[in-house]
Amino acid sequence: MKAFLFSTYFSILISFALFAQSDSLAVVNAEWKKEKISQGVVLKTFWFQNTLFNSNQFVSVLEIKQKKRLEFDIGYDPKKLIITSDFGTQANAIAALNGTFFDIANGGSVDFIKSDMKVINENRLGKNGNRAGHQRSALVINKGKITIAKWDGTANWEKSLVGEDIMVSGPLLILDQIHEKLDPDNAFNKTRHPRTAIAIAKNKRILFITVDGRNINSAGMSLFELSKMMGWLNADDAINLDGGGSTTLWINNYKENGVVNFPTDNKKWDHEGQRKVANVVLLKKKNSNVLKHVLN
């Protein structure tokens, strides 16, 4: 009997290992559709048809070399909600990615945002004063370049970070090539949803990533699955941003309306279902003389 149980357990482990290997090979060997957006900026998309995590997945990756003529920035409105494409258009951006978590009823970020050294939104902590999982890491933009930072446990950690622009978000997925531990009992972590993430890959390349979901064409990912995929995309650091109906990647002058992925707010498999959000991450040409932040 013991031999039978051991054999069964061993077979299960082998099956999991084979699935994991198959998933990693699916990402590494995918024949990504590649489109040059501008110098140093390439869009890669691929529709995994029942080949990734035993499901359909539509993944978009905007790969950006941190060049002198390019810079990253934060677009925001402290109260009003605006679709990602409008944030990008008003900032004359090359691309825009939906940002961190926000108050869907009253507007404004629920996570700390600083722009041009000015605090726009503070963290909205829980009733017990604890930070949410999406308040324990941050995007740091200094002189137009992005890094990712991890909460050090102190109350005012984000205010000590060195950068003109700070966007607190999370959970943190990978730091220094080490995958962060995620709570396996947290429904947000283990349920499949559309996801948005930013990663820093080899040679300091920045990846804007969307995973579509809530559709037969794309199931969405758990954070455990998203974290694995980040590793297979060679991410040294990776952070989760707001996902679900907010997930949107927009590129200036890209096809009909600039939206690359399939936002879900209209419950259709098209590019029209953007959700209004409070903030975005922008890719811009350096020294563009445009009002870059708030829409009036």
Q: What is the 3-state secondary structure (H, E, C) of 18-45?
A: HHHHHHHHHHHCCCCEEEEEECCEEEEE
**13 and 42 together in one domain:** no
**20 and 53 together in one domain:** no
**1 and 37 together in one domain:** no
**57 and 18 together in one domain:** no
pLDDT for the residue numbered 22: 86
For residue 205, give both structure tokens: 């390349």
Residues in the chain: 296
Q: How many CA atoms lie within 13 A of 104 on its CB side?
A: 7
Bridge partners (DSSP) listed for residue 276: 83
pLDDT for the residue numbered 178: 97
* Rounded-to-5 percentages of helix, strand, coil across the chain: 20, 35, 45
Nearest-Å Rg of the Cα atoms of the chain is 19
Give the global pTM. Answer: 0.91
Residue 222: strand, helix, or coil: coil
**200 and 228 together in one domain:** yes
Contact at 8 Å (CB) between 252 and 95? Answer: yes
Q: Is residue 226 part of a domain?
A: yes
Q: Is residue 163 part of a domain?
A: yes
Residues 238 and 177: their CA atoms lie apart, in Å, by 9
Q: How many CA atoms lie within 13 A of 5 on its CB side?
A: 2
For residue 59, give both structure tokens: 């993944």
Q: Is residue 296 part of a domain?
A: no
Q: Where are the beta strands (DSSP E) in 81-222?
A: 82-83, 95-98, 113-115, 118-121, 137-142, 145-150, 165-169, 172-175, 178-179, 195-201, 206-211
The angle, 0 to 180 degrees and rounded to 10, between the axes of the packed helices 223-232 and 2-28 is: 60
Q: Is residue 72 part of a domain?
A: yes
**79 and 210 together in one domain:** yes
Domain that holds residue 18: 1-30
Q: Is residue 294 part of a domain?
A: no
**40 and 107 together in one domain:** yes
- Number of domains into which the chain is organized: 2
**18 and 138 together in one domain:** no
pLDDT for the residue numbered 17: 47
**102 and 126 together in one domain:** yes
Bridge partners (DSSP) listed for residue 167: 113, 139
H helix count then E strand count, the chain: 4, 19
Residue ranges, the chain, pLDDT below 70: 1-20, 288-296
**36 and 25 together in one domain:** no
Q: How many CA atoms lie within 13 A of 195 on its CB side?
A: 33
**157 and 19 together in one domain:** no
